[in-house]
Amino acid sequence: MKFKSQSLRSACAVAIAASLSLSLAAPASANQTGEVFISSEKDNIITVLEGKTQKQLAVIKVCKRPRHLRLTQDHLRLITVCGDDGSAVVIDVASKKVIDKIKLQEGVEIFDLSPDGKKLYFSNEDTASIVGVDLVAKKVISQIKVGEEPEGVLVTPDGKTLYATSEVASLVHVIDLASGKIVKNIEVGKRPRRFALTPDGKELWVTNELSASASIIRTADHTIAETMKFEAKGFRPDEITPVGITLSVDGKTAYVALGRANHVAVVDVASRKVRGMILVGKRAWGLAVSRDNTTLYVANGMSDDVSVVDVASGRAVKTLKAGRVPHSVVIDD
């Protein structure tokens, strides 16, 4: 189909952007599929698995070096950011088709969405900044300088605050989104990476890759409540490199991927005690747990596979291929 005029092209672009914005902001759907989406950095694909059987449903070609993944609030769209071509790709969950591509910047790492779904914030390791993008207008609206090599990004549910990690500075930056200013820098462990916020919003957990630890931050005053150290039998402390972290829906259990230690730590959130260790693949980083807390998926970057863990038994029951260097996992549930 050829467009007959510039005005028609503009009208269509506005319609697509408006549709995306509405999708991002819509309430959660009751018809989630249980499907699992896994990004692969080296193959430029997203692998889709059926939830109950873990059989492969589709392979979606997306962009150069897809990394972090997020489902929109209504679960109708999946967004991935691509480090080597500096873009965000929007996928229709039902059809498994790419429906939009938004130019960002090269060096994009991790991202989060504003509560209304209209803005995307990502960390840019190359420019040491947190970049805000208007998804409707498809343009950069803010760029906030932070410490070197930022990675983790988390927007609070009220949309007022953004947290970002700086790997080099060993800091968590607390950013007021209204002013675009850093209001506090919190010293944590060496090379902080990813975040998890407890359901009550009172604690922010951050993994420290080179300290073999997780810092637990009180959100009320942004002080450190506790620092948890991780150990794994048969591994030296420098081989225990926590990166990925996720919480069960009820907030009672934290799952921490220990990187080169090839294990996931299962942590009781209330007591801060490690309840168990689950052996998975090589360099476990990205992970996601099902809403009913029965199944954990772990992306193993150095063994090019994904471990499917039965939470009740604390054992990996399947190992699946999902492209070279799998990065992130999300579950449509």
Q: Answer whether residue 63 is part of any domain.
A: yes
Report which secondary-structure segment, H or E, holds 58.
strand 56-61
Count the Cβ atoms, other than its own, within 10 Å of residue 10: 11
Q: Please give the residue range of the domain that contains residue 305.
A: 32-331
pLDDT at 173 > cutoff 50: yes
For residue 31, the model assigns a pLDDT of 67
Classify residue 221: in a domain, yes or no.
Answer: yes
Question: What is the average per-residue pLDDT within 317-328?
Answer: 95
State the chain's mean pLDDT as an integer. 91
Of the listed ranges 7-16, 81-90, 149-158, 161-170, the one predicted with least confidence: 7-16
Identity at 239, one-letter amino acid code: E
For residue 20, name the pLDDT band (cuts at 50, 70, 90). Answer: low
Residues 287-302 as b/e (b if ≥16 CB within 10 A, e otherwise) read bbbbeebebbbbbbbe
pLDDT at position 30, please?
Answer: 41
Q: Is residue 226 part of a domain?
A: yes
Domain for residue 14, yes or no? no
Q: Is residue 252 part of a domain?
A: yes
Q: Is residue 52 part of a domain?
A: yes
Q: Which band of pLDDT confidence, cut at 50, 70 and 90, is reported for residue 6?
A: very low
User: Is 1 part of any domain?
Assistant: no
Question: Does the pLDDT value for residue 26 go beyond 70?
Answer: no
Q: What percent of the chain has pLDDT over 70?
A: 91
Which DSSP letter does residue 15 get?
Answer: H
pLDDT at 10 over 50: no
Closest CA to 141 of 151, 152, 130, 126: 130
Whether residue 298 is contained in a domain is answered as yes
Instruction: Indicate the SS3 state at residue 115.
Output: coil
CATH number (domain holding residue 246): 2.130.10.10
Band (19; pLDDT cuts 50, 70, 90): very low
Number of domains in the chain: 1
